Amino acid sequence: AGTRRARASAQTSLHVPYGDGDGEKLDIYFPADPSGTFPVLVYIHGGYWQCLSKDESGFAAPPLVSQGVAVVAVGYDTAPKGHMDAMVLQVRRSLAFLVERYSGIRGIYLCGHSAGAHLAAMVLSTDWTEYGVVPDIKGAVLVSGVYDLEPILHTYVNDALNMSREVAQRNSPMLCIAPAVPAAVACEVLVAVAQHDSPEFRRQSQEYSQALRAAGWSVSLMDLAGVDHFDIIEKLSEESYVLTQVGEELPSSL
């Protein structure tokens, strides 16, 4: 219902292609007055890289859009059609597309849940020189993410993904943390994990946040009580944690 409401009320562009692939589409929820500059929250959905889509991702839009923030839900080709390398590339390209297409963007905030947090973390490790643009990523909210893909190799999750060890390693955020360049130091990373996430999810969130911090990134780890892997994202959007994270500098910059 949240997505439907967002679609009805906002100035919305659905299924905007950022590439030629079937899954390479964005849903963009603009603020009421998109003529000026505006911050953008880019939401990357979860679903173990094989289910869900951008179409369920509009739930975060209404409170943000009403505050003058554009919300972009990213579509990507999930498995078995999508290969892990391809998904990572698609999400990176979607950001380059946004920056090139919309000159009004003033700062990008990434938010991803589960597999989406993995993809958002891979965005943080992008070498943007090959894309010809450098998105101004001011913050990232990584919710119950997977930062090391190797433990997945021997689980049912890999049946559809069909990853080799090599593919898992080169797409593990834990193994490709970029040293924080000056721009990255200004990027606030919030790593959120649920009290009832599995021990493996909790371990990965702790280790990834420590590794980012060691590389010079500005990181905080949030451990949310009373929620599990699935309802943590609802709790975060309901209680406007995401809004608060983006909103820290909104009033001053609006």
Instruction: Please provide the size of the chain in residues.
Output: 254
What residues are paired with 223 via a beta bridge? 193
Catalytic residues: 114, 197, 229
Cβ neighbours around 152 below 10 Å, total: 21
* Coarse DSSP helix, strand, coil percentages of the chain, rounded to the nearest 5 percent: 40, 20, 35
Q: Give just the sign of the alpha carbon dihedral 229, 233, 234, 239.
A: positive
> From the CB of residue 228, how many other CB atoms can be counted at a distance below 10 Å?
14
- Distance between CA atoms of residues 206 and 191, nearest Å: 8
Greatest alpha-carbon pair distance for the chain in Å reads 50
Helix (H, G, I), strand (E, B) or coil at 71: strand
Full strand arrangement of the beta sheet holding 70-74: 11-17, 25-30, 70-74, 38-44, 105-113, 137-143, 188-194, 218-224
CA angle 93, 104, 140 (to 5 degrees): 55
Identify any residues that bridge with 139 across adjacent strands, giving them in sequence order. Answer: 109, 188
